[in-house]
Amino acid sequence: MNYKQWLFFLLIFLGLSVAGIALVKLIIRIITGFSKKTKTKLDDLVTHALKSPLSLAAVVIAAYISIYLVKIPAKYLKVIDGALFVLTVLLAAMAINNVFKAILSWVQESSQKKEFLRRFLPLVDIGGKIFLWTAAVMIILKRFNYDISSLIVSMGVGSLAIGLAAQDTLANMFGGLMILFDQPFRVGDRIKLENGEFGDVLEIGLRSTKIKTVENYVLVVPNSQLIKSKVLNYYLPERSSVGKITVGVSYDSDPQKVKEILIKSALEVDEVMRDPAPSAFFTEFGDFFLNFLLVYWVDDPKKVFATKDKINMRIMENFQKEGIEIPYPIQTIYLRRKNESKN
């Protein structure tokens, strides 16, 4: 094959490539015009995802046509044909990968469970890429008569070994996915763990969940432990939370008046909700005092302790104004002299 034949091949290839790319652009423009009229954004994303692979596919098709229009010697034809096959498989994998990513992007934008998808979709994306490109490599190896059965067996054994070595990691990952899907708590919720620790959820990861405690440090809990234990969520079914204050007064106090003062003290604090209104209860006859319970509500669990402090201050002030005494235990000890005991 002389240089004139190669030049002829090159001219045909370039001409067909330019014509193919122009045709692809025209088709994409027409499809884009139709897709903009639809309500869904998915067709726009898919069209954009296929733009580059289709343009490259036009070049590969031009190469296929060129090698059969020009008489290429067999020794060159086999090499070129093999190279074009590899490019075709890679372009097909690229197109599928781009469409897959476009679908995942559309699902994330249109779904209401954005936090779950934000964590879950990257894992699906990585898994899809591994499967897709592994399949592409196997197809290419099969085309060139490589034995892929031993490779498949080796990959299976390797996957089993990795799975056994990473049992804890996989358990935490599946635990994270279950938390994100089931949503027993969300980022920002205040929760209490089974061991008594509690705080605000900072982040729900695939391996662990980070909780900011009231002491202002971060508690990292593996997801596999969280899904096995009891978790109290202060934000479900609603954000409003109850606070309780127990106070004892002397037996000389009027119980009805004490209850009125307790409710009044709570209502003097702005953070206390008016609906439901605070309530006071006479709960117990103690050894040294009468026990009362004040129950109040706030619109956010994070306000319970600060509100309790303000209410306690108001109770102290109002008790002092009304002459209500908060007693403390008094113990009287009688001492007898030895000679007095004989008399």
Helix residue spans in the chain (DSSP H): 3-35, 42-69, 74-110, 114-143, 149-165, 167-182, 223-226, 255-267, 304-322, 338-342
Before 237, cis peptide (omega within 30)?
A: yes
Q: Give the C-alpha separation, 100 to 44, whole Å.
A: 13
Mean pLDDT of 317-335: 80
Which residues are within 8 A (CB) of 208 and not within 5 positions of it... i.e. 6 or more apart?
172, 176, 220, 221, 222, 223
The band of 313, judged by pLDDT with boundaries at 50, 70 and 90, is very high
- Give the per-residue pLDDT at 111: 66
The answer to whether the 182-233 and 241-322 domains have the same CATH topology is no
Please name which of 168, 261, 242 lies closest in space to residue 208, comparing C-alpha atoms.
168
- Give the per-residue pLDDT at 153: 62
Element (H, E) at 298: strand 290-298
Mean pLDDT of 214-235: 87
The band of 256, judged by pLDDT with boundaries at 50, 70 and 90, is very high
Q: Which amino acid is at 196?
A: G
Q: What percent of the chain is predicted at pLDDT more than 90?
A: 20
Mean pLDDT of 92-106: 88
Q: Which CATH architecture has domain 241-322?
A: 2-Layer Sandwich (3.30)
- Give the per-residue pLDDT at 317: 94
CATH number for the domain running over 182-233: 2.30.30.60
Query: DSSP assignment, residue 303?
Result: G
Q: Give the C-alpha separation, 247 to 281, whole Å.
A: 10
**What secondary structure does DSSP assign to 229-295, as a single string?**
S--EETTSS-S-EEEEEEEEE-TTS-HHHHHHHHHHHHHTSTTS-SSSPPEEEEEEE-SSSEEEEEE
Q: Does the pLDDT value for residue 151 go beyond 70?
A: no
The band of 147, judged by pLDDT with boundaries at 50, 70 and 90, is low
Assess contact for 65 and 127: CB atoms under 8 A. Answer: no
Q: Give the C-alpha separation, 17 to 325, whole Å.
A: 97
Which residues are within 8 A (CB) of 298 and not within 5 positions of it... i.e. 6 or more apart?
240, 241, 243, 271, 272, 273, 304, 307
Mean pLDDT of 264-293: 92
Q: Give the C-alpha separation, 335 to 343, whole Å.
A: 15
What average pLDDT is seen over the chain?
A: 82
Q: Give the C-alpha separation, 14 to 8, whole Å.
A: 10
Predicted confidence (pLDDT) per residue in 186-209, tens digit: 888 888 898 888 889 988 877 888
- Give the per-residue pLDDT at 158: 58
Q: Does the pLDDT value for residue 262 go beyond 90?
A: yes
The band of 338, judged by pLDDT with boundaries at 50, 70 and 90, is low
The band of 155, judged by pLDDT with boundaries at 50, 70 and 90, is low
The band of 243, judged by pLDDT with boundaries at 50, 70 and 90, is very high
Residue 107 Rama label (left phi>0; alpha psi -120 to 50; beta): alpha
Assess contact for 288 and 275: CB atoms under 8 A. Answer: no
The band of 154, judged by pLDDT with boundaries at 50, 70 and 90, is low
The band of 278, judged by pLDDT with boundaries at 50, 70 and 90, is very high
- Give the per-residue pLDDT at 312: 95
Most confident of 58-67, 193-202, 252-261: 252-261
Q: Give the C-alpha separation, 119 to 115, whole Å.
A: 7
Q: Which amino acid is at 9?
A: F
Residue 226 Rama label (left phi>0; alpha psi -120 to 50; beta): alpha
- Give the per-residue pLDDT at 38: 79
pTM of the model: 0.50
- Give the per-residue pLDDT at 331: 60
Show me where the domains of the chain are located: 3-164, 182-233, 241-322
Q: Distance between alpha carbon 208 and the CA centroid of its chain, in Å?
A: 11
Most confident of 31-45, 144-158, 298-312: 298-312
